[in-house]
């Protein structure tokens, strides 16, 4: 399988010494055998001489079928406090508190979102995590939870400031620095673990070869499979480093077999990808192979149809050919396979909620993420086992993988975090400085025909306009800190004629205009805004803060930068480049096609100007 992936590969003596030392180093209040608020005292950590396989075997023998099935489900809970009622829990699960949801279904994991009111501030997240872990440890099989979220960074970042924010996948791809990618993942993992999140649904392994992709885009590292594979491998190393000590997190690469070549969002439809086996091997498979070689703990399936790889018509999540044949047998992955959200339309077009859960397990999945109807899915799996449609041996295979991952990641030893120590890890000055240093290497100068950049003299008055109320305000603040008087005129995602006219009028009264685009390749209003600003005769710097593809769609704009991110760290790096404090070092991680000449690139992969 490649490199060593867990302490179980070491001698029993070394493991015993390690676990003993860890248990001695962890305060008693943080160990799983501490009495909790409700229920009987949970069991102690596994004996020091046990390997992950031994412990999983022993634990499985003691579990009831409902407890085993519960380990195969991961879902969300509503609220900021594990023991506080929230009406949405009653509506969806028939119980009041997040802790009761865990207890009712013997959950193997919980996933956090902003929309489910799980994130307020880092200490609160730590309290929520501890409360949920205590509920798991005091009920059922008394097995700690996987607590996860999507902390990809960039446009998908659940745990916001003061936690450290990085610019995201494609920005890191532009930086070409695998060491920086690994460092970003290591810092993110430490901060997540400090608040009790022990698993991250990242990094994205999809190779974004389709510029019209509406759901992956800048979440991908690159359109080049080699660069994407190198970055994925680096981030898996960073996330999982120290996981068995309870410091890193389990990493989850997604979305197998590859979601990069589609123009349909699987949240709202069922994408069809026409790659044949040779194309899949060359384009889609390399990042997943690289992750497996690094010992990645988990791989997430995609709700996509790949007819040239599987003729069943089923999405990959429900396909034995894809999950068991391609992922397990062909690529040799022995870790945990989790589905993407089972609430997405890409998986819900042909079957009931109960049937989806059963088919996913039969296809080779181990964990089922966010069923639309938790009761139906959970009971559907139980009934399938009792009727013989799914053997209990098949259930045991998946439960074993989940249990071994929990052992391997140190979740058994350190399920409870120190709530008073969160600020010593999350958003520290050192972490924030590292994020800025990493981001400073990602900004790409695509076009500088008029040699506006770097600015030769400091402008007195600067207009910041275009997409993003928060982003324009953030950039304006960064520019203002460098001396100029700054005005903002946010025009939004689809600016109309009146907003464009207002921005153009303001540009004529300023020495420099910086205009931000977000998906201008797909929006005539944004393109018209840039075109009219360029026509004022005043210096204009145009910045694609999401898709770099925007730079090929307005020829009249002679100065283009790409940040691939609208995070504050990206706006600080942008200001540094504009004012000549740093040179633009990013190189295009994707080719930018010429919209007027199909098959021809306007700016090739690897393009990037400097000074």
CA separation for the pair 558, 332 (Å, rounded):
49
pLDDT tier, 126 (very low <50, low <70, confident <90, very high otherwise): very high
9 pLDDT exceeds 90?
A: no
Mean pLDDT, residues 411-430 taken together: 95
Model confidence pLDDT, tens digit, residues 349-400: 889 999 999 999 999 999 999 999 999 999 999 999 999 999 999 999 999 9
Mean pLDDT, residues 330-352 taken together: 94
CB proximity list for 32: less than 8 A, separation 6 or greater: 42, 43, 44, 45, 137, 142, 144, 412, 413, 415, 416
Q: What value, to the nearest 5°, has the Cα angle with vertex 501 and ends 499 and 507?
A: 105
Nearest to 518 by CA among 495, 539, 546: 546
Model confidence pLDDT, tens digit, residues 541-590: 999 999 999 999 999 999 999 999 999 999 999 999 999 999 999 999 99
pLDDT tier, 436 (very low <50, low <70, confident <90, very high otherwise): very high
Give the DSSP letter of residue 346.
Answer: G
Domain topology for 7-429: TIM Barrel (3.20.20)
Percent of the chain exceeding pLDDT 70 equals 92
Which of 38-42, 220-224, 533-537 is least confident? 38-42
91 pLDDT exceeds 80?
A: yes
45 pLDDT exceeds 90?
A: no
CA separation for the pair 454, 576 (Å, rounded):
9
Residue that wins the pLDDT comparison between 88 and 16: 88
Model confidence pLDDT, tens digit, residues 131-159: 999 999 999 999 999 999 999 999 999 99
* Same fold flag, 7-429 and 440-603: no
CA separation for the pair 534, 560 (Å, rounded):
12
CA separation for the pair 165, 157 (Å, rounded):
8
pLDDT at 336: 98
pLDDT at 346: 82
Percent of the chain exceeding pLDDT 90 equals 86
Edge-first strand listing for the sheet containing 559-562:
444-448, 559-562, 540-544, 512-517, 461-466, 485-490
CATH 3.20.20.10 fits 440-603, yes or no: no
Peptide bond into 257 cis (omega under 30): yes
Catalytic status, residue 78: no
pLDDT at 36: 36
Mean pLDDT computed over every residue of the chain? 92
Catalytic status, residue 340: yes
Q: How many CB atoms lie within 10 A of CB 473?
A: 15
Residue among 297, 340, 353, 523 flagged as catalytic? 340
Residue among 267, 351, 396, 528 flagged as catalytic? 267
Nearest to 464 by CA among 448, 485, 440, 441: 485
pLDDT tier, 43 (very low <50, low <70, confident <90, very high otherwise): low
pLDDT tier, 413 (very low <50, low <70, confident <90, very high otherwise): confident
Counted residue by residue, the chain has a size of: 611
Model confidence pLDDT, tens digit, residues 493-537: 999 999 999 999 999 999 999 999 999 999 999 999 999 999 999
CA separation for the pair 586, 545 (Å, rounded):
14
pLDDT at 261: 87
pLDDT at 10: 36
Strands (E), 125-235: 146-149, 151-153, 156-157, 199-200
Here the tokens at position 385 are: 């086992």
Quickly list H helices, 494-550.
497-507, 524-534
Quickly list H helices, 77-168.
87-93, 98-105, 122-137
Domain edges within the chain:
7-429, 440-603
47 pLDDT exceeds 80?
A: no
CA separation for the pair 346, 259 (Å, rounded):
12
pLDDT tier, 46 (very low <50, low <70, confident <90, very high otherwise): low
253 pLDDT exceeds 70?
A: yes
Q: What value, to the nearest 5°, has the Cα angle with vertex 479 and ends 476 and 482?
A: 150
CA separation for the pair 576, 580 (Å, rounded):
6
CA separation for the pair 464, 25 (Å, rounded):
52
C-alpha neighbours within 13 Å on the C-beta side of residue 541: 27
């Amino acid at each position: 399988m490649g490199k060593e992936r867990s302490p179980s590969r070491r001698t029993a003596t070394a493991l015993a010494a390690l676990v003993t030392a860890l248990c001695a180093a962890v305060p008693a209040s943080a160990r799983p055998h501490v009495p909790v608020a409700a229920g009987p005292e949970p069991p102690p950590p596994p004996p020091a001489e046990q390997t992950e396989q031994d412990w999983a075997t022993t634990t499985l023998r003691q579990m009831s079928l409902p407890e085993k099935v519960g380990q195969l489900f991961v879902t969300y809970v509503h609220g900021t406090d594990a023991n506080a009622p929230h009406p949405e829990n009653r509506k969806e699960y028939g119980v009041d508190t997040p802790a009761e949801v865990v207890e009712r279904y013997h959950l193997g994991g919980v996933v956090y979102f902003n929309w489910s009111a799980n994130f307020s501030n880092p200490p609160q997240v730590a309290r929520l995590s501890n409360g949920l872990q205590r509920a798991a440890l005091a009920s059922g099989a008394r097995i700690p939870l996987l607590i996860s979220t999507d902390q990809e960074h960039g446009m998908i970042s659940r745990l916001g400031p003061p936690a450290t924010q990085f610019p995201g996948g494609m920005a890191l791809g532009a930086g070409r620095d695998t060491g920086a990618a690994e460092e970003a993942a290591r810092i993110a993992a430490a901060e997540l673990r400090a608040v009790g999140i022990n698993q991250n649904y990242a990094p994205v392994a999809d190779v974004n070869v389709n510029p019209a992709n509406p759901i992956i885009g800048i979440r991908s590292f690159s359109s080049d499979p080699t660069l994407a594979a190198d970055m994925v491998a680096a981030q898996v190393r960073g996330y999982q480093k120290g996981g068995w000590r309870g410091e890193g997190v389990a990493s989850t690469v997604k979305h197998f077999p590859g979601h990069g070549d589609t123009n349909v969002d699987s949240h709202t439809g069922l994408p069809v990808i026409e790659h044949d086996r040779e194309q899949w091997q060359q384009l889609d498979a390399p990042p997943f192979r690289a992750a497996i070689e690094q010992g990645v703990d988990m791989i997430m399936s995609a709700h996509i149809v790949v007819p040239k790889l599987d003729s069943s018509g089923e999405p990959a999540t429900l396909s034995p050919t894809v999950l068991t044949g391609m992922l397990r047998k062909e690529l040799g992955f022995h870790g945990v396979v989790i589905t993407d959200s089972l609430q997405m339309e890409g998986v819900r077009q042909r079957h009931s909620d109960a049937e989806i859960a059963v088919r996913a397990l039969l296809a080779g999945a181990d964990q089922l993420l966010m069923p639309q109807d938790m009761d139906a899915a959970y009971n559907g799996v139980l009934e399938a086992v009792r009727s013989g449609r799914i053997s209990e041996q098949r259930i045991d295979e998946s439960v074993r993988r989940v249990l071994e991952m929990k052992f391997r990641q140190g979740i058994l030893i350190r399920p409870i975090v120190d709530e008073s120590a969160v600020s010593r890890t999350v958003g520290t000055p050192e972490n924030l400085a590292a994020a800025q240093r990493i981001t400073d290497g990602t900004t790409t100068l695509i076009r500088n025909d008029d040699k506006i950049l770097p600015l030769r003299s400091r402008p007195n008055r600067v207009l910041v306009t275009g997409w993003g109320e928060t982003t324009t305000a953030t950039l304006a603040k960064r520019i203002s800190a460098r001396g100029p008087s700054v005005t903002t005129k946010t025009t939004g995602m689809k600016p109309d004629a009146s907003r464009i006219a207002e921005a153009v009028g303001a540009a004529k009264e300023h020495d420099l205009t910086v205009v931000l685009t977000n998906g201008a390749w797909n929006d005539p209003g944004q393109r018209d805004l840039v075109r009219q600003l360029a026509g004022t005769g005043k210096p204009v710097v145009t910045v694609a803060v999401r898709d770099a593809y925007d730079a090929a769609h307005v020829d009249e704009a002679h100065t283009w930068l790409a940040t691939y991110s609208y995070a504050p760290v990206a706006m600080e790096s942008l200001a540094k480049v504009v004012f000549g404090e740093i040179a633009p070092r990013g190189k295009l991680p994707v080719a930018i096609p010429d919209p007027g000449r199909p098959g021809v690139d306007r700016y090739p992969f690897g393009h990037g100007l400097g000074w």
